[in-house]
A and B are shown apart, each in its own frame.
Chain A
Amino acid sequence: DTAVSQTPKYLVTQMGNDKSIKCEQNLGHDTMYWYKQDSKKFLKIMFSYNNKELIINETVPNRFSPKSPDKAHLNLHINSLELGDSAVYFCASSQATGQETQYFGPGTRLLVL
């Protein structure tokens, strides 16, 4: 069974479109995260949710809106996509918001044309 899954795996779209990426974890974890990995492979946290409540919201354009319908899901919606949004987006989860290990999904490769 996949612990942290993301859909879609690849996403190619035009500038200005709106798209969503879905994430689900079956580990029973309370906390979920979104990370962005840029073309230089640098990973940076974007958001973190604990029990459906937003706890980390880094400096991210408000075109990005996370939504957590329940603690097993954390979706990322992106409005008005720009070329600079092209990246790999990783979802992760952990037991709680402390020092627990984070487990990562396989990533969603977004290409904006």
Chain B
Amino acid sequence: AQSVTQPDIHITVSEGASLELRCNYSYGATPYLFWYVQSPGQGLQLLLKYFSGDTLVQGIKGFEAEFKRSQSSFNLRKPSVHWSDAAEYFCAVGATGAGSYQLTFGKGTKLSVIP
């Protein structure tokens, strides 16, 4: 079965600093990979996704992520963080398990931004 690990529970960065959120997955084949963001009291918004092709994917709000098969990673990056980026970030892997396709989420990384 697939699994997702987000090693960092909570990260604090200063506004304007760069950001990298880590995500590692476990799956026997090439997975479909997603990053979602959840602002306080809100639902989940898709930031970006990787299905195939170019391993560096661009998303909304200036985010990008790089798929590295050798490291089973899909880390999320942003060159300059804004205060409005403070939220919970979830990495997810989409794969077929038990005969049906489903998303498996990591436990999330909470991002705090210092003004």
Contacts and interface: CB of A to CB of B under 8 A. Distances in A.
A66 interface: no
A97 B101 contact: yes
B46 A103 contact: yes
Contact of B32 (A55, A92, A99): A99
Interface string B95-115: 000001111010110100000
B42 A106 contact: yes
Q: Which of B90, B100, B107 has the most CB of A within 10 A?
A: B100
Contacts of A40: 107
A104 B43 contact: yes
Interface in A22-77: 40-45, 48, 55-56
B44 interface: yes
Contact of A107 (B43, B103, B107, B108): B43
**At the interface, is chain B mostly helix, strand, loop or mixed?**
strand
A40 B71 CA distance: 27
A8 B110 CA distance: 26
How big is the A interface, by class?
20 to 34
Contacts of B88: 41
A17 interface: no
Nearest to B42: A106
Contacts of A43: 44, 90, 105, 108
A44 B107 CA distance: 10
A59 B103 CA distance: 15
Interface of A: 4, 40-45, 48, 55-56, 90, 92, 97-99, 101-107
Instruction: Give the 10 A-B CB pairs with smallest separation, nearest first.
Output: A104-B44, A106-B43, A43-B105, A99-B32, A104-B43, A41-B108, A107-B43, A56-B100, A55-B100, A42-B107
